[in-house]
Structure 1
Amino acid sequence: MTKIQNLLSSRRKENVSSQPQSVAADQSQSPVRHIAIIMDGNGRWATRRHLPRLAGHKAGVSALRRVVECAADENIEMLSVYAFSTENWHRPRIEVDGLMRLFWETIRSDLEKLHRDGVRLRHLGRLYDLAPDIQQAVRESMDLTKDNKRIGLNVCFNYGGRAELVDAVRQIIADGRQPETISEEMISSYLYTRDLPDPDLVIRTAGEMRVSNFLIWQSAYSEYYATPTLWPDFGREDLLEAVQSFQQRSRKFGRVLPTSV
């Protein structure tokens, strides 16, 4: 019996040691301040459980709550999440309507808690295409939380990287900018993310290996991390594994790093 107890105790220790530990203490080593997430796999999660796709999207909202709390605990300054793309309008009408309703209901149900928890909300995307009640709810949420400091949460809803660039170019032309004055810095100043830092790390769930028109300008030198985990199953351990992977990489930004002697 003693041998069995010792064996079980040893295995428990192995399991604990294999779990990702907090990365907050390692942030000075290779800090990750801004994480962007392509939250993929809600529909597959629901299909595998013989549930309607909207049930997967609701489970995805629960996953987002977990990840925001974990990121804030780990002193990550900002999250940007891909909630609804400009291409998602081509999905079946019942799913689009459900996503719009879920977006509105989530803002209404979670806003006060997010505000108490120090979350600063921001919408990235074409707000004018959304229903008036959703537009109002988004503006109210941003106004209420604009001074919060714990973590920034940028919700990319009705967002597309190409659409963002089109909108930027249109505004540059409308402002009468001369061609010779246009620079990368100027273009960046016309994007939805004009006063935000570029993401250090982009996480994609559900095993897909594509950028899907997400922050294509801003993520030019971001590190990418893909996981087979479906978004509704994504949690603290998954986030910490992604951050730990990021911390093991050398970011060169096109340069050659000096070799150690």
Structure 2
Amino acid sequence: MAAGDILEAETNARDLRASPRHVALIMDGNGRWAAARGLPRFEGHRRGVEALRRAVRAAINLRIDYLTVYSFSAENWSRPREEVEMLLGLLHRFIRNDLAELHASNVRVRVIGARGDLAPEILDLLREAEQVTQANAGLTLVVAFNYGARQEIAAAARALAEMVALGRLAPGEIDAEAIAAQLDTADIPDPDLIIRTSGEQRLSNFLLWQAAYAEFVFLPILWPDFDEVAFIGALAEYGHRDRRFGGLDAAAPGAKTAS
């Protein structure tokens, strides 16, 4: 697409009646992208990192406040050891090579996911990314690493149970807000839009609690092909959605209107 077409698409996207504050990405299809081209899986993952860079830059250009990326799930450890080491190596290189640029672009990095059983060198890397950028006030890049939504909710339940056992909380005080306050995302707004590439249409244990009222856009393209044009297209689709959060459309019969 020509530069003029991209600019027009951006303008159209911004002119829509709704714009998401928080976008989450399920970056799917690296392996299939490589297989379709007769390339090793590593090349698909490497190109996926390039697509991630484009997505972050696009989020900045499109004035998204929060961008959450599903970088490594709790279930990914079950993949072959060689592939796990490759993915960890790509994460290491992404942070080492891109942290300075992210910091210069006023991006704040937040990491969600279980940390208790991570190797010290990985923990140090994640902590460095957070500490270096913690004072930044632009885009918040939330990296979901060693993350699983069921595990996150179970950990929140254990924390609340411990509070009850210690007499610091009554069982009747446990509500949705109390659970949300114990999640990794307690200080992050719920996603407005979740985009998944590769044509698959499932959450894969990603932000199950937080996605209660999110809009979903499933794209047929594989993740290494994701670019700003695809991002703008997903935002345009979101802009046409009617988000009622369980209520009625303002134009629907019986809906209350402002006096």
Q: What TM-score do you get using the length of structure 1 for normalisation?
A: 0.90
CA distance in 2, matches of 1:122, 1:148: 11
Partner of residue 142, structure 1? 130
Q: Alignment partner of 1:36: what SS?
A: strand
1:173-212 correspondence to structure 2 within 5 Å? 173-176=161-164, 177-212=169-204
Structure 2 counterpart SS, 1:221? coil
Instruction: Provide Cα deviations, 1:28-82, integer angstroms capped at 9, x if missing partner.
Output: 7212110001000011111112222121111111101001101111111110011
**Match for residue 118 of structure 2 among 130, 133, 136:** 130
**Residue 74 to residue 24, structure 1, CA distance change in 2 (3 Å):** farther
Instruction: State the AA in 1 paired with 2:118.
Output: L
Distance in 1, Cα, partners of 2:106 & 2:72: 24
Runs of 4+ in 1 over 4 A off after TM superposition: 13-20
Q: CA deviation at 1:148?
A: 1.0
In structure 1, runs of 5+ residues without a counterpart are 1-12
Deviation at 1:100, TM superposition (A): 1.2
Q: Distance in 1 between matches of 2:184 and 2:15?
A: 27
Partner of 2:257: none
SS at match of 2:116: helix
What CA RMSD, in Å, does the superposition of the two structures yield over aligned residues? Answer: 2.2
Residue in structure 2 matched with residue 29 of structure 1 by the alignment: 17
Note closer, same or farther for the CA distance 1:23–1:224 as it changes in structure 2 (3 Å cut).
farther
Contiguous gaps of at least 5 residues in structure 2: 254-259
**Is 2:209 the partner of 1:221?**
no
Measure the CA separation in 1 of the matches of 2:35 and 2:18. 38
Deviation string for 1:2-52 (max 9, x for gaps)? xxxxxxxxxxx9996598611587367212110001000011111112222
Partner of 1:53: 41
8 Å contact kept, 2:13–2:236: no
Asked whether the 8 Å contact 2:73–2:147 carries over to 1, the reply is: yes
**What CA deviation, in whole Å up to 9, does each residue of 1:125-179 have, x standing for no partner?**
0122221111011101101101111201001011011010011111112223321
Deviates more, 1:145-154 or 1:239-248: 145-154
Aligned to 1:237: 229
Over 3 Å counting, the alpha-carbon distance change for 1:19 and 1:165 in structure 2 is: same
Q: Which residue of 2 aligns with 1:5?
A: none
The secondary structure found in structure 1 opposite 2:70 is strand
Q: What are the within-5 Å matches in structure 2 for residues 53-202 of structure 1? A: 53-176=41-164, 177-202=169-194
- 2:16–2:240 contact (8 Å) kept in structure 1: no
Once the two structures are TM-superposed, the CA of residue 112 in structure 1 deviates from its matched residue by: 0.8
Percent identical among aligned pairs is 44
Aligned partner letter, 2:22: H
Amino acid at match of 1:188: A
Q: Is the 8 A contact 1:20 1:240 kept in 2?
A: no
Give the Cα separation in 1 of the matches to 2:12 and 2:20: 10
Residue matched to 1:6: none
Q: TM-score, normalised by structure 2?
A: 0.90
Provide the secondary structure at the position in 2 that maps to 1:37: strand
Greater Rg by CA: 1
More divergent stretch after superposition (79-88 vs 125-134)? 125-134
Q: Which amino acid aligns with 2:181?
A: S
Residue identity in the other structure for 1:198 = D
